[in-house]
């Protein structure tokens, strides 16, 4: 380690390599915005940086073997997919792909990005809201908070559709407001931003998500008595966590593959963020959803893959048993042949199941 070449309040997300004579290196970072990715070159000796991707959006890049050319692929909320061949200074040599909107024949709901402050009152958080099709501001609509909330994931960015899945837009077509926000603890915002969850998974994330709920209510067209929540894995944990921490806010929830107690989770991940149960008994006790099951008021569906080897089945089964003990009624569904994610043709069944649950209960 000779010296630090770059510094700043942003994240280097990928190192691509050096130029041919190794005087410059190429990297992708979040310097322009946490919602975007851009390619830079930097002189190793002087530290002088050059932005090589000037178009707004989320760029990924490949260097040619000679290091004289860059294959730049990007999308944004305006462009589905663009691929350019550029020289090593970022000048476009040839446009290879500029895809048409594949959904131009579809009536798509309106999506808007928003920025609010975290529960600490100072940190910017980024989110998106998808309005119902044929939106009427005089109406009151049910809303679904789609959440992940944990490390290693970012749900909102300046990519095509704003990072949302087509299911989000489908639900908006059906008349729901769909909102998503990346809270503190999620990825690509730096160590301080992510490490606020250390030893207390679920606490700060829930506080931040409730700021998104406040924003949702402030819009004026949301039925505050018909707010739902949905997520998978860490998002499943967050869905149940929100429903049991704020039981009067959420009417309906669907939690997929949820972590229930962090002592059941793999040590590679769990102990990185929570330390060991012996070192942090209070943190494990506070974050365990078994202790909150008795608070549940809304309609909750838990979905789990029967052979899930990431979030073991004992997580949701333990919550189910606790609900029985506490006299709490919930719904439960297993996918017998699936692990942590339901893939392939069965995913159609999964999304129909989730959709029907919200239609029936929200």
Cα 143 from Cα 135, distance rounded (Å): 13
Catalytic residue among 275, 340, 346, 359: 340
pLDDT, position 2? 85
Residue with tokens 């008595």, as numbered in its chain: 225
Query: Active-site residue 331, yes or no?
Result: no
Query: Active-site residue 340, yes or no?
Result: yes
Q: Domain 111-361 is of which CATH architecture? A: 3-Layer(aba) Sandwich (3.40)
Q: Is the pTM of this model over 0.85?
A: yes
pLDDT tens string for the chain (362 positions)? 789 999 999 999 999 999 989 999 999 999 999 999 999 999 999 999 999 999 999 999 999 998 899 999 999 999 999 999 999 999 999 999 999 999 999 999 999 999 999 999 999 999 999 999 999 999 999 999 999 999 999 999 999 999 999 999 999 999 999 999 999 999 999 999 999 999 999 999 999 999 999 999 999 999 999 999 999 999 999 999 999 999 999 999 999 999 999 999 999 999 999 999 999 999 999 999 999 999 999 999 999 999 999 999 999 999 999 999 999 999 999 999 999 999 999 999 999 999 999 999 99
Cα 23 from Cα 240, distance rounded (Å): 52
Cα 136 from Cα 180, distance rounded (Å): 21
Contact of 251 with 228, CB cutoff 8 Å: yes
User: How deeply is 298 buried, as exposed, middle or buried, from its count of CB atoms within 10 A (0-12, 13-18, 19+)?
Assistant: buried
Catalytic residue among 230, 239, 308, 338: 308
Query: Active-site residue 304, yes or no?
Result: no
Contact of 131 with 219, CB cutoff 8 Å: no
Residue with tokens 């895809």, as numbered in its chain: 99
Kindly list the strands in the beta sheet with 141-146, ordered across the sheet, starting from the edge strand earlier in the chain. Answer: 111-117, 124-130, 177-181, 141-146, 222-232, 252-256, 299-305, 331-335
Catalytic residue among 233, 239, 287, 316: 233
Residue with tokens 């446009």, as numbered in its chain: 95
């Amino acid at each position: 380690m000779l010296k630090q070449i770059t510094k700043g309040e942003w994240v280097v997300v990928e190192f691509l390599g050096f130029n041919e004579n190794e005087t410059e290196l190429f990297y992708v970072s979040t310097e322009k915005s946490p919602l975007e990715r851009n390619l830079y070159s930097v002189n190793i000796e002087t530290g002088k940086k050059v932005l090589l991707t000037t178009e707004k959006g989320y760029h990924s890049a490949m260097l040619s073997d000679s290091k004289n050319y860059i294959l730049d692929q990007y999308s944004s909320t305006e462009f589905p997919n663009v691929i350019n061949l550029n020289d090593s200074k970022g000048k476009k040599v040839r446009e290879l792909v500029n895809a048409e909107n594949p959904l131009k024949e579809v009536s798509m709901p309106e999506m808007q990005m928003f920025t609010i402050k975290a529960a600490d009152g100072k940190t910017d958080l980024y989110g998106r809201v998808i309005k119902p099709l044929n939106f009427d501001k005089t109406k009151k609509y049910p809303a679904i908070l789609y959440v992940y909330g944990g490390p290693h994931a970012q749900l909102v960015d300046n990519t095509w559709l704003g990072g949302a899945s087509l299911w989000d837009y489908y639900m908006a077509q059906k008349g729901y407001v769909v909102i998503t926000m990346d809270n503190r603890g999620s990825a690509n915002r730096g160590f301080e931003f992510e490490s606020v969850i250390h030893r207390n998974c679920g606490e700060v994330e829930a506080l931040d998500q409730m700021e998104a709920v406040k924003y949702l209510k402030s819009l004026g067209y949301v039925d505050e008595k018909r707010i739902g929540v949905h997520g998978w894995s860490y998002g499943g944990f967050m869905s149940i966590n929100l429903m049991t921490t704020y039981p009067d806010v959420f009417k309906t929830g669907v939690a997929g593959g949820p972590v229930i107690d962090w002592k059941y989770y793999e040590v590679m991940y769990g102990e990185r963020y929570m330390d060991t149960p012996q070192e942090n008994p209070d943190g494990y006790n506070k974050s365990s959803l078994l202790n909150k099951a008795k608070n549940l008021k809304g309609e909750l569906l838990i979905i789990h893959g029967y052979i899930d080897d990431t979030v073991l089945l004992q997580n949701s089964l333990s919550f189910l048993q606790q609900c029985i003990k506490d006299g709490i009624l919930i719904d439960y569904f297993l996918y017998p042949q699936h692990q942590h994610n339901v893939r392939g043709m069965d995913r159609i069944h999964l999304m129909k199941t989730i959709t029907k649950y919200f239609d029936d209960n929200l």
